[in-house]
Chains A and B, each alone.
Chain A
C-alpha cells in the first residue's frame, strides 16, 4: 500500500499474558487485527493469531538445492571426467580420478549451506520489507523495549467504531492507547 497513509489505533500493554488474553478476546469479537508487536517472541502467539505456516523453509530447500547443483556442476565443469563436461582445468590431486565424488562432498555441503543461508536471509528481508534505504515507521519506540502492542487500522472507520475499539483496549487492560498516521 505505497503512498497511502495508514491510520493506526494501537494499545500498549505491560505484560505479554495480558496481551495474549486481549488478542483472544479480539478474535472472539471478530475484530480485524492489523498486527501485534512484541520485543521478544511470545510462545503460542502464532496459533492465537491464526497465522499460516511460513513458507520460508521451502525457500531454504530451493536455495539449498541450487547450491548443491552449483557445486556439482561447477566442479564437473572444472575437473571434467563426467558425462556432461570435458573438463576446463583438470587437476591431479593425489592420483585420484578427476571426477571423484567423495572429494566433492564437503564443497557440495558448504555451497548448499551457503546458498541456503544467504537465500533465506535475503528473502526474509524482502518479505519483511526490510533492507537498505527502507525507512519503516515505528509506532512507538518502547515496543522494542518493554511494551507489547496490539494495532488496528482505522482508515474509513466511523467514530463510533473507533470508540468501540478504544473501549476494547480499556476493557482488556491496555496501559496506553494512541493513534498515529503512518
Chain B
C-alpha cells in the first residue's frame, strides 16, 4: 500500500487519549501539592505542560536535524521510511505554539517556572544579574519565536522539496531538486547546532537559574533524538503490522535498533561526564544540582539510569534482539518512556525549587511558609517526586497528539518517496547479520 489512510478508528482512539490527557492537565491545575499550594503559582500544571511541550518539540527538532545530517552525509538506507521523519519534523509547528504559550506566560508573569523571571529576586542576586542579558523574558519569548520559526522554515522546506521531487523528480535534470535539498540541509546544520543548545538552555537548564553545565545541551539533545528514534521504531513496526511499508525489512529496523543502542551509550557517556566532573570538583553551586536530585528524587535519579542505560544496553547488545520486532518494540517503548522520564528529571526539581522560593515573598506569612515548604520538599511531593497518574495521563495525551499529527501528515502524501535518488539503495539495504 503506497498511500496511508488515517482510519476513523485510529482517529477516535487518539482523540479519546488526547481528551484523557487534557482532563489530566486541567486536573493538575487544581491539584497542586499541598507543600507549595500557598505559593499559588500552579507549578504542577505549568511544569507538566513544560515537560511535554519541550520533549515533543525537541523530538521534532532533532528529527529535522537528523534529516539534514543524513541528506548531507549521502545516507540512503533511511529513505524508505523518510516520510515518517518528515511528518515528525513538522510537529515543530504545534511545538512552537506550545512553547509560545509558555513564553507569553513567562512574559506576563502568569506562571512561575523560572526563578530568573522574578525581577525582585534578580535585583538582589549577583549571579542572576550577570546572566540577565540572556535569561530574560524578551529572549525567552522572542528567541523562541525566531529560532523555532527558523527551524520550521527548514522543516517545511525539506518536506516541500521532497514532495516536489516525488511529483517531478526524474524530469528535473541531474537530480536538481535533491541537490537543492542538500544545500538547504547543509545550511541548516550549523544553524541547528548553535540554536538548539541556546533553546535547551533557555527552556530547561535555566530552571535551575544559578546552575549551568557546558555538557547539558549534548546530553538533553541526545535525549530528544533517542525519544524520536524509539518512537520511529514503534511506528514503523505498527505501520508494518497494518500492511504498510512492506519494503521496510528487519535490516532497516536493525539499523534503527543500532542507533538506539549506540546513542543510549552516548547519552550515558554525556550524563556521566556531566555528573562525574561536578561530583569530583565539588563546587557548592554546581554540586547542589545533583545533591538535591540524588537525595530528594532518588527514583528519578537512579530510575533514569536504569531505564535509559542498563536495560537498553543489556537487551540490545546481541544482534538477534535488534532483529526481532517484539523485543525491539518493547525496548523502544522503554527508551521512549525513559527519555520522557529524563526530561521529567531535568525539569521537575528546578520548578519545585522556584515554587518554594516564590513562597518566600508571597503575601501572607511568606517566609514562615517557605521554611515549612523546604522541610517538606525533601519529603514526597505529589507530581514532582515521581510521575503520578496525572503526569502519566498527560504524557499519554501528548503522545496521542503527536501521533495524531504524524498520521495526519502521513495521509497527505505517498508513503514511499518514489523519485528519491537513494530509494533504490534503501530497498537493497542489508546489514549482513547472522540470526
List the interface of chain A (C-beta within 8 A of B). Answer: 43-44, 46-47, 52-53, 94-96, 102-103, 105-106
Are B280 and A102 in contact, with the CB atoms below 8 A? yes
A106 to B267, CA, bound (A): 15
Are A94 and B282 in contact, with the CB atoms below 8 A? yes
The reply on B313 being an interface residue by CB < 8 A is no
One of A43, A44, A103 near B280 (C-beta < 8 A): A103
Chain B residues in 8 Å Cβ range of A44 = 430, 432
9 A-B Cβ contacts within 8 A? A44-B430, A46-B432, A52-B434, A53-B434, A94-B282, A96-B280, A102-B276, A102-B279, A105-B276
Chain A residues in 8 Å Cβ range of B432 = 43-44, 46-47
Chain B residues in 8 Å Cβ range of A94 = 280, 282
A94 to B283, CA, bound (A): 12
The reply on B272 being an interface residue by CB < 8 A is yes
A96 to B282, CA, bound (A): 10
On whether A105 and B282 interact (CB within 8 A), knowing A46-B432, A47-B432, A53-B434, the answer reads no
CB closest chain-B residue, reference A43: B432
A46 to B430, CA, bound (A): 13
A-B Cβ contacts below 8 A, count? 22
Which residues in chain B, 247-284, are within 8 Å of chain A measured between CB atoms? 272, 275-276, 279-280, 282
On whether A105 and B272 interact (CB within 8 A), knowing A44-B432, A47-B432, A53-B434, the answer reads yes
CB closest chain-A residue, reference B275: A102
Chain A residues in 8 Å Cβ range of B434 = 52-53
A94 to B276, CA, bound (A): 13
Chain A residues in 8 Å Cβ range of B276 = 102-103, 105-106
A164 to B280, CA, bound (A): 73
A53 to B432, CA, bound (A): 11
Chain A residues in 8 Å Cβ range of B282 = 94-95
A144 to B207, CA, bound (A): 61
Question: Shortest Cβ distance from A50 into chain B, in angstroms?
Answer: 11
Question: Shortest Cβ distance from A44 into chain B, in angstroms?
Answer: 7
CB closest chain-B residue, reference A61: B317
Question: Shortest Cβ distance from A64 into chain B, in angstroms?
Answer: 11
Question: Shortest Cβ distance from B213 into chain A, in angstroms?
Answer: 16
A127 to B430, CA, bound (A): 28
CB closest chain-B residue, reference A96: B280
A53 to B323, CA, bound (A): 15
Question: Shortest Cβ distance from B119 into chain A, in angstroms?
Answer: 39
